């Protein structure tokens, strides 16, 4: 039986690791440029949900409860993460040695600070560390890497979505400009990649690298022709020459379900079902992929058997889809103030998420509005009314419950009973009640 205190606070099991997470990430991110450091560190200053690292850490803790004889992969990888090398060396003239001594003119001009000291791997394992039951150093680092990748994607996402707030304050693009937000995201991604490779596990490198590619592919699937149009508007208002229009996706089935016979006519039901498949696949790529692949990576590092590794992967996948369904629901139901980021944004951005697709199933006349990305006056309002009338939000919640149930079944199949598993169950359930 799980102690009540634990059920109320699943984090307590991994609080030590969660407390050092931000500090370790800052060490992994340090550059020689103070402004770059400010932008990359910006989203870590405000309290995020940190769902991804928490999942990796709790799952690692729960995996450690599997008896060592049942972990028939080659070995449990409990070696330390190798220390990171000096990332880059600026020329001697830029190095700041002593306030009174060699300060170069460029140092003053650009405010270049001394390089960060060597970034160390996680603190050495304590003497009494239980090598079979503790969270492994590489799993700790994995949690940090996943949060870095997620943060990089948020910096880019806020540029793409023209968002002006995140975590209750100005978003990175607003606080520092689009250019800096994009570059800081790229830098974070670069540093995360260094750290992944230093886990010295080719399978994990492949998984996490793939999840980065998946994030971009998911975002691209979501663009359809909205971004092309908004970019065109931007350049049209400026002095740049307007590029030729890109080929437009005339309906969501285009390019998705192959083979599509040219000129074939589909019933509305088939078009809507296909749009739903497209939406779920996009959701997997943009949100669930990073979560599921990091869960899989945590299991691989623990030396778990293939079936356990697969269940952990499916757990992350189902939980990730559930998470994004709730996100898409909250966009319709919660105020911007409570969310700490823009609300009602998806329709404004021309994106049809689950609540709209459910309404479309009932009211086929929404098709053209979805197709033109709600771009005509009144489209957004009419769609929002249809979502309310046909209970799109309620139906989305029911779908999220289905994914939650699958995720819980995966957990029970993968892991023996333990406090950590109960904490994971608690976390999985709490995704449905979250309000931000
Ligand atoms: C938030 O979605 C955004 C994502 C889950 C992924 C964003 C991915 C990219 C921008 C691709 C680039 C990726 C990297 C790794 C640099 P949302 O806009 O629905 O949620 P929000 O309401 O929190 O903004
Ligand atoms: Mg966004
Ligand atoms: Mg987005």
Taking CA atoms only, the protein residue closest to ligand 1 atom 18 is 157
Q: Is the pLDDT at 248 greater than 90, yes or no?
A: no
Are 157 and 219 in contact by the 8 Å Cβ rule? The answer is: yes
Nearest CA-CA partner of 80 in 124, 117, 119, 118: 124
Burial class of 404 by CB neighbour count within 10 A (0 to 12, 13 to 18, 19+):
buried
pLDDT of 104 reads 53
d(CA 317, CA 289): 7
Summarised one tens digit per residue, pLDDT across range 42-53 is 999 888 889 999
**ipTM of this complex prediction, to 2 decimal places:** 0.97
Distance (angstroms) between ligand 2 centre and the Cα of 161 equals: 5
Encode 352-376: b = buried (16+ Cβ within 10 Å), e = exposed. Answer: bbbbbbbbbbebeebbebbbebbee
With a 6 Å cutoff on the Cβ, whether 156 touches ligand 1 is: yes
pLDDT of 205 reads 95
Distance (angstroms) between ligand 3 centre and the Cα of 241 equals: 27
Name the least confident of 28-42, 200-214, 306-320.
28-42
CA 371 to chain centre: 27
With a 6 Å cutoff on the Cβ, whether 189 touches ligand 1 is: yes
Q: Is the pLDDT at 356 greater than 50, yes or no?
A: yes
The H or E element that residue 319 is part of is helix 306-333
Distance (angstroms) between ligand 2 centre and the Cα of 222 equals: 11
pLDDT of 99 reads 47
Structure tokens at 165: 């707030």
Q: Which residues make Cβ contacts (< 8 Å) with residue 15, sequence separation at least 6?
A: none
Confidence of residue 95 (pLDDT cuts 50, 70, 90): low
With a 6 Å cutoff on the Cβ, whether 144 touches ligand 1 is: no
Does 133 or 286 have the greater pLDDT score? 286
Structure tokens at 384: 């929002």
Summarised one tens digit per residue, pLDDT across range 266-306 is 788 888 988 899 999 999 999 999 999 999 999 999 999 99
With a 6 Å cutoff on the Cβ, whether 343 touches ligand 1 is: no
d(CA 343, CA 324): 15
pLDDT of 204 reads 96
Name the least confident of 195-199, 260-264, 413-417.
260-264
With a 6 Å cutoff on the Cβ, whether 311 touches ligand 1 is: no
Summarised one tens digit per residue, pLDDT across range 303-322 is 999 999 999 999 999 999 99
Q: Which residues make Cβ contacts (< 8 Å) with residue 342, sequence separation at least 6?
A: 161, 163, 164, 165, 336
Structure tokens at 147: 């949060």
Distance (angstroms) between ligand 2 centre and the Cα of 382 equals: 22
Question: pTM of this prediction?
Answer: 0.84
- Which ligand 1 atom is at minimum distance from the Cα of 150? 15
């Amino acid at each position: 039986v799980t102690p009540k205190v634990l059920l109320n606070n699943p984090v307590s099991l991994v609080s030590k690791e969660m407390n050092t997470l931000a500090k370790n990430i800052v060490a992994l991110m340090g550059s020689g440029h103070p402004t770059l450091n400010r932008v990359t560190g910006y989203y870590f200053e405000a309290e995020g949900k940190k769902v991804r690292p928490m999942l990796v850490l709790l799952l690692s803790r729960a995996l450690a409860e599997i008896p060592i004889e049942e972990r028939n992969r080659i070995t449990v990888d409990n070696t330390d993460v190798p220390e990171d090398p000096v990332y880059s060396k600026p020329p001697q003239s830029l190095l700041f040695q002593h306030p009174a001594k060699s300060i170069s003119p460029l140092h003053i001009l650009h405010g270049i600070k001394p390089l960060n000291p060597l970034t160390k791997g996680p603190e050495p394992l304590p003497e009494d560390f239980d090598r079979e039951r503790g969270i492994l150093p590489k799993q700790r680092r994995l949690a940090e890497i996943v949060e870095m990748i997620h943060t990089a994607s948020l910096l880019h996402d806020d540029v793409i979505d023209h968002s002006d707030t995140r975590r209750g304050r100005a978003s990175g693009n607003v606080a520092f400009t689009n250019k800096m937000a994009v570059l800081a995201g790229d830098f974070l991604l670069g540093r995360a990649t260094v750290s992944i490779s230093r886990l010295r596990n080719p399978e994990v490198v492949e998984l996490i690298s793939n999840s980065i590619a998946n994030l971009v592919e998911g975002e691209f699937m979501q663009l359809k022709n909205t971004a092309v149009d908004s970019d065109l508007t931007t350049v049209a208002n400026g002095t740049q020459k307007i590029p030729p229009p890109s080929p437009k996706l005339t309906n969501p089935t285009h390019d998705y379900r192959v083979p599509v016979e040219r000129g074939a006519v589909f019933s509305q039901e088939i078009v809507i079902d296909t749009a739903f498949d497209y939406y779920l696949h996009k959701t997997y790529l943009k949100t669930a992929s990073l979560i599921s692949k990091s869960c899989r990576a945590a299991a691989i590092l623990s030396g778990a058997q293939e079936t356990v590794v697969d269940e952990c992967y499916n757990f992350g996948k189902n939980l990730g889809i559930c998470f994004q369904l709730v996100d898409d629901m909250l966009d319709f139901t919660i105020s911007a103030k409570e969310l700490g980021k823009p609300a009602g944004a998806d329709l404004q951005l021309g994106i049809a998420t689950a609540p709209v697709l459910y309404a479309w199933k009932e009211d086929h006349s929404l098709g053209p509005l979805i197709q033109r990305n709600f771009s005509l006056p009144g489209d957004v309002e009419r769609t929002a009314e249809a979502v309310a009338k046909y209970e799109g939000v309620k139906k989305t919640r029911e779908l999220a419950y289905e994914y939650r149930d699958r995720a819980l079944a995966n957990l029970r199949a993968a892991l023996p009973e333990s406090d950590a598993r109960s904490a994971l169950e608690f976390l999985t359930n709490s995704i449905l009640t979250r309000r931000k």
